[in-house]
Structure 1
Amino acid sequence: MIISWCPTIGVQFNSGSQQSERWLIPIIIFIDEELKYNVIVTLGLFTGLRLGELMGLEWQDIDFDNCRLYVKKESSYVSTKSPYLPDDRKGIIQKELKTTGSYREVSFPTNLKPLLKRYFEHQCRLAVCLGDKWQGTNRLFTTNDGKPMYPYTMTRWFPKFIERHGLPKLTFHGIRHTSATLLIALGVHAKTVSSRLGHSNISTTFNIYGHHLRSHDKVVAEKLDEFIFQQQQKNTV
């Protein structure tokens, strides 16, 4: 199934570098893929979470009533061959976030709630079917036996998905940039964008998205000029 709307419809973008234009690619949600991947990509686009943060989400971090999620930890993979670390710090581990700003609440659209609930019910049915073989984590994103999902799985899967459906090249991290640039193009304040992305301070947001913010600022100036000019014309009639 291809949902017939796209989050960039009606949004005008200014031209930028080739990499910036890549971030602004209209992402179609979603083309006949496994439900788990559907949820990861859609949630990533609407929240701007980093891949490690998405993989670290647990079901208690999802507030269905208020359509909000809480970013508390991230998931990463540490090679089991490392001779310098104890066994409990190898493999897929949950770890604390890097900065205070990374701990945050992020709202998601009400229209996303049915998809998340359907995925939750699917995961519950899978756990019941597997019985004792279910590995019993509370993570949103798991392997088919309930173990935490390898973060690198999405890194490998996403380019293949892009190529399989003839979409312009984009890395999974590009979804985060797409989310941010969409917010800027829609007129969301830079402070709000920075907060949703979990940047340690707003200067980080300006350093990464300064071109897009300046372009939008110019559009705002033109609209203000147009409004004031129209008022002047009415007063002179």
Structure 2
Amino acid sequence: MGSIEKRGKGSFRLSVVTGYDAKGKAIRERRNVRVKNKTQARQELAKFEAEVLSGDYSRPTYTRLEDFYKEWKQKFAEDHFAPRTLQEYIGIIEKRIIPQYGHMKLNDIKPMHIVDFLDGMKRGEGRLDGKSVPLSPSTIRNCYKAFNSLLSVATDFGLIKNNPAQHIKLPAAQRKKSVAYTKENIDKMISSISNEPYIKQVMFWIAFVTGCREGELVALEDKHILEDKGTVRFEQSLTQLSGGELRVKSIKNGMDGTAAIPNELMEMILKIKRERKREFMMLRDRWYDPNRIFLFADEEGKPMRPDSVSQWWACFRKRNEIGDIRFHDLRHYSVTYLIQQNVPTKSISQRVRHRKIGTTMDIYGHHIEEVDQLAADHFSVFFSNQNSS
């Protein structure tokens, strides 16, 4: 049930009753419109009533973006993002988004504002380092994700009807350069790693054999070495916050799991495990974390930082002239090696903890096609026999 109230020349207030409170008082939604006459006002009332009764109506909000940002941070972001991602988004919002759009009401932010924001970064506007070159597609995508999160949560909280950033097209992501997988590289790494300290050798072999990431490697504890099953369990990762604090977090995409390892590698790991336990028994109260015994840690139990693994690896590569192979690329080498050994793709996908087998296919499809061609060649023998007969 709706009504019209004339407010002035060409101005009308529309009112729609949506229900009644406990005291029998009508609950109304109102909207002010400017039209020429009452006939047009009735037309607007019909539209407004249909919008309200269909459930598509969103009550206007006068919350500014910078005010809502505090709510987003406290009531959503701190519980939904990993520490490093949260820090990155906070930096983007406070340094890039709030200065431009913080004064605007949430309802006034339109898709074109998001387009202009992204387009400005493509042209190099608003760079924090003072340079005039465009920002990289990956940086632009991260800025979009932060902006989109703000507006998406505002939609979920019922502050705006639709997320204006929802259907914006982003710059194409740059495809990462594929790792140059060669047997020569593997042979050189293996021959060179034997000259490194024992603990570094074990780190290399775990990464190469299991395909784990740096953060997952340094987060390994004694309890994750399952000697009776001959496996290593990956269920957590280690990250370093901007202040230097190390924090254990859940594994990427929540995909924990185990990876079987050779007996020889298990013996190498058990040697380190026994040493860490001995140090723990000696220090006890002075141990970094009384509830955890990290495998790759200093004499007081403090684990290695993930970036320290990459730093060591960079020096190792340089000393041995191995080439442009990152420590993370050992994960790709591990998968590629297994593909070439004709291990089923599903087994590989589970081993490196991809959420979907399609992820493995997307990343390593070209290697899988090469092996598949070799499989096809085996059938040539039947055609050879047919021709000879």
**CA separation of 1:23/1:60 partners in 2, compared to 1, >3 Å: closer, same or farther?**
farther
Tell me the number of residue pairs that the alignment of Structure 1 and Structure 2 aligns: 208
Residue aligning to 2:6: none
Are the counterparts in 2 of residues 75 and 151 from structure 1 also a CA contact under 8 Å? yes
Q: Distance in 2 between matches of 1:146 and 1:231?
A: 66
Displacement of 1:19 after TM fit? Answer: 3.5
Looking at structure 2, the residues matched to 159 and 203 of structure 1 have their Cα atoms a distance apart, in angstroms, of 31
- State the alpha-carbon separation in 2 of the partners of residues 105 and 229 from structure 1: 43
Tell me the CA shift for residue 109 of structure 1: 1.1
Check conservation: 2:202, 2:265, Cα contact below 8 A: no
Q: 2:227 aligns with which of 64, 67, 70?
A: 64
- Structure 1 residue identity aligned to 2:352: L
Match of 1:99 among 253, 263, 286: 253
Contact 2:232 2:260 in 1 (8 A): yes
Number of the residue aligned with 1:85: none
SS of the equivalent of 1:20 reads coil
CA deviation map 1:63-98 (0-9, x unaligned): 112211211111111112xxxxxxxxx711111123
Alignment map for 1:178-197 (pairs within 5 Å) = 178-197=333-352
1:108 to 2:255 alignment: no
Cα gap change, 1:231/1:66 in structure 2, threshold over 3 Å: closer, same or farther? Answer: farther
Larger deviation: 210-219 or 162-171? Answer: 162-171
How many Å apart are 1:134 and its aligned residue? 3.7
Q: Percent identity?
A: 27
**Residue correspondence of structure 1 range 45-64 to structure 2 within 5 A:** 45-64=208-227
User: 1:128: Cα distance to partner?
Assistant: 5.2
List alignment gaps of at least 5 residues for structure 1: 1-16, 81-89
Q: Paired residue for 1:204? A: 359
Match of 1:217 among 372, 376, 382: 372
What per-residue deviation string (whole Å, max 9, x for no partner) do you get for residues 134-174 of structure 1? 43431122123211211111011101011112323310001
Alpha-carbon deviations, 1:109-135, whole Å to 9, x = none? Answer: 122121111212232344456565443
CA distance in 1, matches of 2:177, 2:239: 30
**Partner SS, residue 337 of structure 2:** helix
Within 1, Cα distance between the matches of 2:179 and 2:196?
27
Q: Does 1:139 align with 2:301?
A: no
- What residue in structure 2 maps to residue 20 of structure 1? 179
Question: Within 2, Cα distance between the matches of 1:230 and 1:68?
Answer: 45
Amino acid at match of 1:20: V
- Higher relative contact order, chain-length normalized (CA < 8 Å, sep 6+): 1
RMSD: 2.5
For residues 173-214 of structure 1, what are the alpha-carbon distances to aligned partners after superposition, in whole Å with 9 as ceiling and x for unaligned?
011000000000000111111111111101111111010001
Q: How high is the TM-score relative to the length of structure 1?
A: 0.78
Q: TM-score, normalised by structure 2?
A: 0.49
Larger Rg: 2
Distance 2:340 2:309 in 1: 27
Compared with structure 1, are the counterparts of its residues 116 and 230 closer, same or farther at alpha carbon in structure 2 (3 Å cutoff)? farther
Q: Distance in 2 between matches of 1:133 and 1:164?
A: 36
User: Which of 271, 274, 277 is matched with 1:118 structurally?
Assistant: 271
Aligned residue for 2:326?
Answer: 171
Give the Cα–Cα distance (whole angstroms) in 1 for the partners of residues 383 and 177 of structure 2: 36
The equivalent of 1:3 in structure 2 is none
Q: C-alpha distance in 2, partners of 1:91/1:63? A: 29
- The equivalent residue for 2:97 is none
What are structure 2's unaligned runs of at least 5 residues?
1-175
Preserved contact between residue 62 and residue 70 of structure 1 (Cα < 8 Å): yes
Amino acid at match of 1:55: V
In structure 2, relative to structure 1, the CA distance for the partners of 1:23 and 1:143 (3 Å cut) is farther
For residues 219 and 45 of structure 1, the distance between their equivalents in structure 2, rounded to whole angstroms, comes to 25
Shift of 1:229: 4.6
